[in-house]
Amino acid sequence: MRALRLVLGDQLCDDIAALRGLDPAQDVVLMLEVAAETTYVPHHKQKLVLVLSAMRHFAAELMARGIRVDYVALDDPANTGSFDGEVARAVARHRPDRLIATFPGEYRVLAMMRGWQGALDLPVEIREDDRFFVTPAAFAGWAEGRRELRQEHFYRRQRMATGLLMENDKPAGGSWNFDRANRKPWPRGKAPPTRRRFPPDAITREVMALVADRFAGHFGTLDEFAWGVTRADALLALDDFIELSLPHFGDHQDAMLADAPFLHHGLLSPYLNLGLLGPREVCARAVSAYRAGRAPINAVEGFIRQILGWREYVRGIYWHFMPDYAATNALAADEPLPDFYWSGETAMACVADTVRGIAATGYAHHIQRLMVTGNLALLWGVRPAEIEAWYLSVFVDAFDWVELPNTHGMAIHADGGIMTSKPYSASGAYIARMSNYCGQCRYDPKRRHGPDACPMTTLYWDFLARHRARFAAHPRLRPVMLALDRLPAAELAAIRTQATALRRRGSDLGPDDLGPGE
């Protein structure tokens, strides 16, 4: 046996760097289900099923092609429960002359990998993860010497570098960004689309039984599990998006609709992040739809920007600034995460519906993540590590490299503006504009204080007041700061008292609002 080739749970693609040059006659592929990875945060049950079932399907596909796979299952009695322990056992079993891995998606795992060469007395090759358009080194080259980093600049450069949606060196459609056309709420009375889902097969059902038994206390339910778990499924999901939803993606990208977790978004992040789809092929399909006249420019540009712009930018930020990045807390946020993030027990209709949807599916779309749960955590002042652990747990697509910058930087501004220049703070007025939640809520999004005041609105004005000094000079926040200054002192005092009471209670619900026995 010569090379032992490690494939992690989010590296499930035939062309992953660690498999390149594989000699089926001599090499062994190593795949590890380990307890430490399943429990270091209380992952949603559907995330566990997705990752483990996709790993099992991928291993079976490799084996069917005559490749030797050493697959350590979670319930193997000899399983030591960690990557360190299982890599060491596999090296003792196979006595390879080298270990080949692909650059992982977490700083924590990279630190482990870097220890293996010394600990195992074996050459360890960590290959670049070239599924991404931009390497960490190339991002560092771009970031070097810039006064500030902004996604829009990075994105334009990537458009030029890749030629995606470019016509004679000019952006297709005459503009780099069509966001202004992309802020329409969901039309009143229009039913949400029926998106393609994937009924569990025998392997998935077996993993569901394992997860139900072993991880019963984890967040979320399994009844509606219907994520694809193979490349073939992921390709069908991509077809579904391109044909059914891409044409509407732009218009309704920011819209939220109660009881409808799936609108016209991609629903592709689980597949992209696991390796079942590649970002290049996904972008190519979207551009082909545009060229064929099957999707408008505002939709296709908006979608390409998410993948070529935001996805690559957040990964660049992660590897450029870790490990120090995670420890920053620019807004000195120090409140515990309210329980309703897990229970959904709140009278805030927007939050309750979002948490309910996540529990049932492991998914929420970007605006729910940013402007409902993220905005509330920002305004509430939740400790960064607690809200980050929540995001890493509850979404089926959550891996550290993408979850952390989105939460720490974009949502709660804990990085002090490294990733985005200003916080995405908003009052209930934004949610009222972009959703039908407020009509079903006991609160009034316009009220800043008093029994009917929307907690988002109360906390928004309190947030502006608390951070007035930091944000007063920001050009885009100047109008709201002026509005803050115009609030009568007594009203601002009432708002701040109410915000403090919410935080002290840890919920919008008082003891009288909870049902019997609670």
Q: Does 38 bind ligand DLZ (CB under 6 A)?
A: yes
Q: Does 397 bind ligand DLZ (CB under 6 A)?
A: no
The 3-state secondary structure of 168-190 reads CCEEHHHCCCCHHHCCCCCCCCC
Strand-pair partners of 17: none
Q: Does 441 bind ligand SF4 (CB under 6 A)?
A: yes
- Sign, CA torsion 469/375/365/220: positive
* Least CB distance to ligand FAD at residue 489 (A): 34
CB nearer to ligand DLZ: pick between 76 and 513: 76
Question: Amino acid identity, residue 295?
Answer: A
CB nearer to ligand DLZ: pick between 182 and 361: 361
CB nearer to ligand DLZ: pick between 318 and 471: 318
Phi, psi of 493 (to 5 degrees): -65, -40
Single out the residue of 86, 106, 301, 353 in contact with ligand DLZ (rule: CB under 6 A): 106
Question: Amino acid identity, residue 428?
Answer: G
Q: Does 13 bind ligand DLZ (CB under 6 A)?
A: no
DSSP 118: H
| Site residues (CB under 6 A) for ligand SF4, limited to 449-488 | 454-456
Q: Does 426 bind ligand SF4 (CB under 6 A)?
A: no
Question: Amino acid identity, residue 71?
Answer: Y
Contacted by 219, from ligand FAD, ligand DLZ, ligand SF4, none: CB < 5 to 8 Å by type: none
The DSSP element (H or E) to which 84 belongs, if any, is: helix 83-94
Radius of gyration of the chain measured on its C-alpha atoms: 24
Pairing of the two strands 170-171 and 69-72: unpaired
Single out the residue of 18, 113, 418, 432 in contact with ligand SF4 (rule: CB under 6 A): 432
The DSSP element (H or E) to which 259 belongs, if any, is: none
Which residue's Cβ lies closest to ligand DLZ?
Answer: 9
Per-residue x/- track, 126-165, ligand SF4 (CB under 6 A): ----------------------------------------
Non-local (6+) Cβ contacts of 408 within 8 A are: 325, 326, 328, 384, 388, 414, 415
Q: Does 349 bind ligand SF4 (CB under 6 A)?
A: yes
Neighbours of 206 (CB within 10 A): 15
Contact between 414 and 317 under an 8 Å Cβ cutoff? The reply is no
Contacted by 310, from ligand DLZ, ligand SF4, ligand FAD, none: CB < 5 to 8 Å by type: ligand FAD
DSSP 440: G
Strand-pair partners of 6: 30
Q: Does 333 bind ligand SF4 (CB under 6 A)?
A: no
CB nearer to ligand FAD: pick between 27 and 397: 397
Single out the residue of 366, 466, 474, 503 in contact with ligand FAD (rule: CB under 6 A): 366
Pair of tokens at residue 240: 């579904």
- Taking the C-alpha atoms of residue 446 and residue 98, their distance in angstroms, rounded to an integer, is 63
| Site residues (CB under 6 A) for ligand FAD, limited to 309-338 | 310-311, 314
Q: Does 355 bind ligand SF4 (CB under 6 A)?
A: no
Pair of tokens at residue 239: 């077809």
Neighbours of 60 (CB within 10 A): 13
Binding piece for ligand FAD, criterion CB under 6 A, among 97-105, 163-171, 172-180, 361-369:
361-369
Q: Does 275 bind ligand DLZ (CB under 6 A)?
A: no
Pair of tokens at residue 190: 């229009």
Non-local (6+) Cβ contacts of 180 within 8 A are: none
Q: Does 361 bind ligand FAD (CB under 6 A)?
A: no
Q: Does 370 bind ligand FAD (CB under 6 A)?
A: yes
Contact between 480 and 460 under an 8 Å Cβ cutoff? The reply is no
Q: Does 43 bind ligand DLZ (CB under 6 A)?
A: yes
- Taking the C-alpha atoms of residue 206 and residue 227, their distance in angstroms, rounded to an integer, is 15
CB nearer to ligand SF4: pick between 326 and 434: 434
Non-local (6+) Cβ contacts of 437 within 8 A are: 256, 258, 349, 350, 353, 431
Q: Does 182 bind ligand DLZ (CB under 6 A)?
A: no
Question: Amino acid identity, residue 28?
Answer: V
Q: Does 109 bind ligand DLZ (CB under 6 A)?
A: yes
Contact between 176 and 159 under an 8 Å Cβ cutoff? The reply is yes
Contacted by 307, from ligand FAD, ligand DLZ, ligand SF4, none: CB < 5 to 8 Å by type: ligand FAD
Binding piece for ligand FAD, criterion CB under 6 A, among 174-182, 406-414, 478-486, 506-514:
406-414
CB nearer to ligand FAD: pick between 242 and 495: 242
CB nearer to ligand DLZ: pick between 8 and 287: 8
Pair of tokens at residue 2: 């010569």
- Taking the C-alpha atoms of residue 411 and residue 271, their distance in angstroms, rounded to an integer, is 23
* Least CB distance to ligand FAD at residue 23 (A): 33
| Site residues (CB under 6 A) for ligand FAD, limited to 235-294 | 265-269, 272-273
Contacted by 350, from ligand SF4, ligand FAD, ligand DLZ, none: CB < 5 to 8 Å by type: ligand SF4
Neighbours of 469 (CB within 10 A): 7
Task: Give the binding site for ligand FAD (CB under 6 A).
Answer: 265-269, 272-273, 303, 306-307, 310-311, 314, 365-366, 369-370, 374, 391, 395, 397-398, 402-403, 406-407, 410-411
Task: Give the binding site for ligand DLZ (CB under 6 A).
Answer: 8-10, 32-34, 37-38, 43, 48, 51, 104-106, 109, 399
